[in-house]
Amino acid sequence: MKQSQMFIPTMKETPADAESASHRLLLRGGFIRQNAAGVYSYLPLGYKVIKKIETIIREEMDRAGSQELLMPAMQPAELWHETGRWDVYGPELMRLKDRHGRYFALGATGEELITSLVRDFLNSYKKLPMNLYQIQTKYRDEKRPRFGLLRGREFIMKDAYSFHDSPESLDKSYWDMFNAYCRIFERCGLKFRAVLADSGAIGGKDTHEFQALAEIGEDTIAYSDSSDFAANLEMAAVLDTDTAEKGNALSLERVPGKQVVDEDTPIVAQAFKTRTETVVVFIKATDEMNDVKLKNILATDLIEPFEGDSLDLMHLDEEIRVFADNGLKHLSQAVLYNKAEDITYVHVDPDRDLSIESYNDFRFIKEGDPSPDGKGTIKFARGIEIGQVFKLGTKYSEAMNATYLDADGKAKPLIMGCYGIGVSRTLSAICEQYHDEGGLIWPKSLAPFAIHLITVNPKNEDQYSLSEKLYQFFMEQGYDVLWDDRKERPGVKFADSELIGCPVQVIVGKKAADQIVELASRKNKERIETSVEALSTDVD
């Protein structure tokens, strides 16, 4: 493709509101543009990479025996009423009304829709198991969309759903999907960890998150330095109670006189001090938390008494917001804690009535603690959740009356699993791991173009004609090549090339008349001169 004809609006200046490297560099490289808060266009370069990620996902999902379909983004409200999630999902669910006054949800996820599709067909054990997936735009009205594609309000998700007649069959699918995810993220070149996670609002039990390692990540993962143990920190805290000896659990000392009652909102906050100096703030809302003005709590002196352990108020606000955003109507408690500089929260199941007394159920994991599986010590890392696999069980099939007949002719609810990958978020995660100051550095498997052919001075006849010859040659050889044939200053061209980040640059400059060009690697910026004849072997 000739760059002079391509829509690649690169930016010299760093956009003011772009707080993460991926956001900044995707904007500057002309890969994406923002249309509204958390809503983006994928420009030709960005969309090329998205399609490459999708191809990897499709190949691995198909290989694992899942079948692709495409369901609508607009989903009738009746389905969400069947499971009760029309109410439970809260303000994160985007809703719209048609001209006849009928309500729809813009799909935040697809359990209801897929269950409604298969429930008549999957009526016998003979048709099970079945695994279906789609790659479809999802909508979530995130309270604080940020970091570009990392937390959008409109984003691309691959979502898969499996249906079974036994827990063993579900287990097999779960691990098949788990392994497919490992292959997908490996092929994307990502450094990631699969971690035990908490099932949160979706319900169900077994679940792993796939976390791409990145400082910007919103999740803290705890892992053992000498075994496979890895868990999302919220889960690690809970998990540890299983292995902690009775009586060995953390005891919490209530800090007297530090109870705060907010006048405006039905919230009570209480500060606790732990053996390990961890600050725990207990927030209790007796009503929906969605509109709670958390700033009111933060404005109190609640946090002051803990010298040296200053809480990052913005962060604290967000963590609470995560809870409220889930829209869990009956959610009444949350536990937050501050590990010296890091703050995380323990997700409390809304169905479990956690009282202050049962704080003893939690033991808070610190870096350096022995690992729960008895091997090694705990380390912390930041992660971006790029995917998650869940065993849903019968939560949705029971609510939606999706049953099959077993071998004895008895009707039973379908056993389900669901498996999501954030496609657009994965793109950002890759950028977080593959960049330098000058721009993106694409791994070969995902680069928008394999070769960036740069004509230093296209007005020079030798340079132009040699470039044109090479352009044709690379295309004939099957390379995806971007030819910078623009009449721009060399400095502009090289800066743009760095931003765009193709793995290999072929630079046609002064020595064109002698059939000599420069070959450069985007990664280590090494440049070597090479003859045109030698090129075909060198570019690989």
> Which residues in 328-357 contact ligand ATP (CB under 6 A)?
none
Please list the residues that pair with 75 across neighbouring strands: 105
Of the pair 422, 448, the CB lying nearest ligand ATP is at: 422
Q: State the helix-helix crossing angle for 44-63 and 167-187, rounded to 10 degrees.
A: 140
Q: At what angle do helices 21-28 and 423-433 cross, to 10 degrees?
A: 100
Q: How far is the CB of 296 from ligand ATP (least distance, A)?
A: 25
CA distances from 71 to 89, 118, 136, 450, 490 (A): 20, 12, 8, 33, 48
* Nearest approach, Cβ of residue 243 and Mg ion (Å): 24
Q: Which one of 111, 385, 484, 498 is in contact with ligand ATP (CB under 6 A)?
A: 385
Which residues of 37-168 form beta strands (DSSP E)? 39-42, 67-68, 74-76, 94-97, 103-106, 130-139, 154-164
Q: How far apart are CA 355 and CA 33, in angstroms?
A: 47
Of 48, 85, 140, 339, which lies in the binding site for ligand ATP, with binding defined by CB under 6 A? 140
Selected binder of ligand ATP within 320, 381, 386, 470 (CB under 6 A): 386
Number of continuous H segments (helices) and E segments (strands) in the chain: 14, 29
Which of 29-37, 152-160, 289-297, 493-501 is the region at the interface with ligand ATP (rule: CB under 6 A)?
152-160
> Using CB under 6 A, which of the segments 40-48, 182-190, 397-405, 422-430 binds ligand ATP?
422-430
Q: Which of 3, 34, 83, 388 binds ligand ATP (CB under 6 A)?
A: 388
Q: Which of 104, 155, 282, 337 binds ligand ATP (CB under 6 A)?
A: 155
Residue 217 near ligand ATP by CB under 6 A? no
Q: Count residues binding ligand ATP (CB under 6 A).
A: 15
CA atoms within 13 A on the CB side of 340: 5
Shortest distance, position 351 Cβ to Mg ion, whole Å = 19
* 397 and 196 Cβ atoms separated by less than 8 Å: no
Q: Pairing between strand 74-76 and 103-106?
A: antiparallel
Handedness of CA 22, 23, 24, 29 (dihedral sign): positive
Q: Which listed option, ligand ATP, Mg ion, none, makes contact with residue 493 (CB within 5 to 8 Å by class)?
A: none
Sign of the alpha-carbon torsion through 91, 93, 96, 100: negative
Query: Contact between 151 and ligand ATP (CB under 6 A)?
Result: yes
Strand-pair partners of 481: 451
Which range binds ligand ATP by CB under 6 A, 43-51, 295-303, 384-392, 430-438?
A: 384-392
Judged by CB under 6 A, the residue of 129, 417, 420, 509 near ligand ATP is 420
Contacting residues toward Mg ion, per CB under 5 A? 385, 388
Direct distance between the N- and C-terminal alpha carbons of the chain, in angstroms, rounded to an integer: 19
Q: Work out what residue 152 binds among ligand ATP, Mg ion, none; the CB cut-off runs from 5 to 8 Å by kind.
A: ligand ATP
Residue of 208, 425, 435, 452 that binds ligand ATP (CB under 6 A) = 425
Q: Of Mg ion, ligand ATP, none, which one sits near residue 164, judging by CB under 5 to 8 A according to partner kind? A: none
d(CA 365, CA 354): 19
Which residue has its beta carbon closest to ligand ATP?
422
Per CB under 6 A, 142 contacts ligand ATP:
yes
Answer for the pair 343, 312: CB distance below 8 angstroms, yes or no.
yes
Question: Residue 112 corresponds to which tokens in the numbers above?
Answer: 């209801």
State in angstroms the smallest separation of the CB of 385 from ligand ATP.
4
In the complex, the smallest distance separating the C-beta of residue 138 from ligand ATP, rounded to whole angstroms, is 7
To the nearest whole angstrom, how small is the minimum distance from the Cβ of residue 385 to Mg ion? 5
- Chain residues that interact with ligand ATP, rule: CB under 6 A: 109, 140, 142, 151-152, 155, 157, 385-388, 420, 422, 424-425
